[in-house]
A and B are shown apart, each in its own frame.
Chain A
Amino acid sequence: MELQMKMPDLATNEGEEILITQWMVEVGQPVERGQVLLEVETDKAVMEVECIADGTLKSIHVESGESVPVGHVIATIEVS
């Protein structure tokens, strides 16, 4: 099963886009729920985003340095 992981709602201001500063896992690597998958920067702080399921990071849809709104699909996880 594939799971589309969306940009979580971390911004303190409604409608703010969230900047992806760094992916911590490479495509093809195994991931666990709760593991830090990427780092983002909001209007307030730098934060870590955790993976939402156990499996493999199948693909990344937004490169670091890009900003996306909350709810935008950022990665696909192949669930184990």
Chain B
Amino acid sequence: MAECDREFRLSLYKRMMLILEFEETVKFLFLEGTMPGTIHQSQGQEATAVGVCAALQPDDWITSTFRGHGHALAKGLTPRELLDELFGAQTGCCKGKGGSMHVGNMSKGMVPGIAIVGGGIPLAAGMALAFQRQKTPQVVACFFGDGAVAEGAFHEGLNMAAIWNLPVIFVCENNLYGASTRVDLVMRNTKISDRAASYGFRGETVDGNDVLAVHEAARRAVEECRSGNGPVLLELLTYRRTGHSRRDPCHYQPKSEREEWFARDPIQRLADTLELDDATRKEIRQQCQQTINEAVEQAKHAPQPTAADVSTDVFAACSEDFSPSIATNVATTSVKRMGIAEALREALAEEIERDERVFLIGEDIGIPGGWGGAFTVTLGLEKKFPDRLINTPIAELGFAGIAIGAALMGLRPIADVQYGDFLYLASDQIINNAAKMCYMSGGKATVPLVMRAPVGATGRGAQHAQSMERFFAGVPGLKVVAPSNSYDAKGLLRAAVRDSNPVMIFEHKLLYGSKGARAESGAVDATSEVPEGDYIVPLDKAAVRREGEHVTILGWLLMLHFALQAAETLAAEGIDAEVIDVRSLSPIDYETIGASVEKTGRVVIVEEGPKTGGVGAEIAAGLAERFPGVKIARVASPDVPVPFTPVLENAYRPDPDRIAAATRDIIGKG
């Protein structure tokens, strides 16, 4: 054995020992009650983390899971920053906001651990997509357990990584159990590496307790990925020597099985291969112990965050190109009248041209001869920007995760779903990853994602019709907007692309002004004058659309148009209504709305979608708290799924008559 080779192997041994000592120390700190929270540990699995990470360069990346201590130490995070995090200290790698399940460090190539089983897989593919698009030689190693293989995220992530040859190594640590459930209870073919063939790439099963074998397999996989021949699936057979989480006595692991695997302990085996004598083993172990003990002592006294820190790091500061000097009210000298679909298309084209980090991703968005997305918004863009539109499989969770992963690595993806209803499939990625990444990382990770979604009841029955904004408006970490005219659509989309945070844009199908085969019956004219040149509409401002003295009517999307119609009817009766386009659903602009309700003393909140649990309910509560004297009424859909037949759909969707009636009522002229 060459001397450098021996030294390298010794370094693997030391790193594995460091992980073991770290985990054992942490285990007892938890059991003693010294440390808050819960833990998922990796004793027995040291070789997988160390073998894989030793094959990576410092600027390569990993994604991890709830069981991430070993991965973190293997990727070069220090015991100190991890212990500080586990103790909840401000000096922890995530400022105490992540904790054991979310350790990571964006400057050391590790995103915060994803504790949703399988959730890191599409994310890693997206990170790899970013490297591929940026033409950097970086790769991602994506760690997950055998349990993740049954998740849809596994299928969607691997499939997309395969069709685009992404430089990602999927590392399945098969430790035979997902929590207490043995693999053979949840899969018929327990050879996980076989899965790769069904996606058309290479998979390999490796002895995961042999660090040298793991390293060699990972080295080959990295090489393949760097030369454009990714992805690769590595199945590393290993065993968890400790409980799934704290207090788990592992009674489901048969004693004989445990003993068999203990005899194959990865640290022991490498020591034997290296023929380390007892004294050397002991010395290395003591060195590791000392490092850990010192870090524990420091962590115990590390500064804790204060209560005021609870609301910092929810959003990233906006980026350099989000200049407030960009006119928000340009002169209307050179203007063009257009519909929302066209305005969005213009904004997309201009943002693509302005910023090379921008790309579009979604289903059917740029197929020559296709429709330009479900509502023609991207029609023709593929001709102008063939390499900036990514057509995906029908896999909403997967491509949402991919967009988020790419955003984490600095790109500016604009994703869209064909119908808002499909956001339920993508919501794990949007809510658990995009919205929380900044906070969980202590403000280090940013997700400049735009997600567009058409909503509204339009003769398609219950599953292509829902008003989805309610489900996202209450999610901390997301910004939510809903444009009701073309000027806003363009300005809000531009602002969203330039914002460093995830922004959801809800668009109404009846307002697009889509033409030809994609025209909607019952469409409402939402065209407006759109000026030439760069302008944005701020993401946090409502707009007064009609001034009035007697009552305030709030609406957004289609309901804003119906509210304006109702206001005209009421005007003829001598009722002077002020109509406000709420537009920004998170955050809600209580300043603009508040000024109006203080003036009128009465507010009617109009919403398409069930009354219970809607955005209107939130606005009603928010106004009641801030302006206790104001009378509040709501007009919304009944608490039913969206029906198909026009008679019932019309009964579902609030209309100008109902809005007018409720307004007369609140004024006492009903």
Contacts and interface: CB of A to CB of B under 8 A. Distances in A.
B33 A10 contact: no
Contacts of A48: 249
Interface residues of B, number: 10
A9 interface: yes
Contacts of B246: 9
Contact of A33 (B24, B32, B33, B251): B24
A28 interface: no
Contacts of A6: 32-33
A71 interface: yes
Contacts, number: 27
Given A33-B24, A34-B24, A71 B249 contact: no
A8 B24 contact: no
Contact of A47 (B24, B28, B32, B249): B249
Interface string A30-55: 00011000000000010110001000
B247 A12 contact: yes
A9 B28 CA distance: 10
A70 B32 CA distance: 8
Nearest to B29: A52
A9 B24 contact: no
B31 interface: yes
Nearest to B282: A54
Given A33-B24, A34-B24, A52-B28, A9 B33 contact: yes
Contact of A10 (B24, B28, B31): B31
Contacts of B164: none
Interface centre among B24, B31, B251 (most CB of A within 10 A): B31
Interface in B32-57: 32-33
Interface residues of A, number: 14
Contacts of B30: 9
B35 to A, nearest CB: 10
A10 B27 CA distance: 12
Contacts of B32: 6, 8-9, 52, 71
Interface string A12-40: 10000000000000000000011000000
B247 A9 contact: yes
Nearest to A8: B31
Nearest to A70: B33
B251 A45 contact: yes
A37 B434 CA distance: 46
Contacts of A52: 28, 32
A11 B33 CA distance: 12
Nearest to A11: B247
B466 to A, nearest CB: 40
A48 B31 CA distance: 12
Interface in B247-267: 247, 249, 251
Main secondary structure of the interface of B (DSSP, over half): loop
Nearest to B31: A8
A43 to B, nearest CB: 11
Contacts of B249: 45, 47-48
A12 B246 CA distance: 10
A11 B30 CA distance: 13
A33 B107 CA distance: 35
A10 B243 CA distance: 12
Interface in B223-248: 246-247
Nearest to A49: B31
A9 B33 CA distance: 6
B267 to A, nearest CB: 13
Nearest to A53: B28
A6 B29 CA distance: 10
Interface string B265-293: 00000000000000000000000000000
Contacts of B33: 6, 8-9, 70-71
Contacts of A12: 247
Contacts of B251: 45
A11 B246 CA distance: 10
A6 B251 CA distance: 23
Contacts of A70: 33
Contacts of B247: 9-12
A24 B33 CA distance: 23
A69 B247 CA distance: 15
A48 B246 CA distance: 13
A50 B251 CA distance: 16
Contacts of A9: 30-33, 246-247
Interface string B570-587: 000000000000000000
A52 B21 CA distance: 12
A47 B249 CA distance: 6
A11 B31 CA distance: 10
B206 to A, nearest CB: 27
Contacts of B31: 8-10
A8 B30 CA distance: 8
Nearest to A51: B28
A43 B613 CA distance: 40
Nearest to B43: A34
B297 to A, nearest CB: 14
A70 B102 CA distance: 27
A48 B242 CA distance: 12
Contacts of A45: 249, 251
A37 B405 CA distance: 47
B247 to A, nearest CB: 5
B601 to A, nearest CB: 50
Contacts of A10: 31, 247
A38 to B, nearest CB: 13
A45 B247 CA distance: 10
B287 to A, nearest CB: 15
Nearest to B241: A34
13 contacts: A6-B32, A6-B33, A8-B28, A9-B33, A9-B246, A12-B247, A33-B24, A45-B251, A47-B249, A48-B249, A52-B32, A71-B32, A71-B33
Interface of B: 24, 28, 30-33, 246-247, 249, 251
Interface of A: 6, 8-12, 33-34, 45, 47-48, 52, 70-71
Q: 6 shortest A-B CB distances, which residue pairs?
A: A8-B31, A52-B28, A47-B249, A6-B32, A9-B33, A71-B33
Given A10-B31, A71-B32, 18 more contacts: A6-B33, A8-B28, A8-B31, A8-B32, A8-B33, A9-B30, A9-B31, A9-B32, A9-B247, A10-B247, A11-B247, A12-B247, A34-B24, A45-B251, A48-B249, A52-B32, A70-B33, A71-B33
